[in-house]
Amino acid sequence: MLEINNKQITYKLSWLEKVGAFGKSPTAKFSNLIKVSQSDNPWNTKVIRGVRAPGAGIPYFIMLGTLRSLRGKDFTIIYKRRPVLILDFENERFRRWVIPDSEASRELLRATGKLLTL
């Protein structure tokens, strides 16, 4: 679940997602969010970039954790063939977050004026 408070943006992971991702909920400064986009097909090379390490993954079923590539690290949560939101950051631990698309996340980004390219 996406949360924004005190100029921070956080994707709250459930305890099961924390286990699968081998990590904790990602947090970034809201001012470092530069672009938001959406993809209906998350299982392509435009969305998935790099090698999963650490995390859990079964192709076309689940992808949780960090993807590392020459472009930087991406935090990824993909379930089956469900649409995802892609949040691009600058000067943060993760260059991108690929998270499940939900109306709640869209409304939160819309309310803050960061829903840029959908």
Judge whether residue 73 has pLDDT over 60. Answer: yes
Contact assessment for residue 36 and residue 53, using Cβ atoms and an 8 Å cutoff: no
> Within 10 A of 118 (CB to CB), how many other CB atoms are there?
11
Q: What is the pLDDT of residue 116?
A: 53
> Among residues 67, 63, 66, 101, which one has the least CA distance to residue 84?
101
- For the chain, give the percent of residues with pLDDT over 70: 96
* pTM of full prediction above 0.85: yes
Q: Is the pLDDT of residue 20 over 50?
A: yes
* Residues linked to residue 87 through DSSP beta bridges, in sequence order: 36, 97
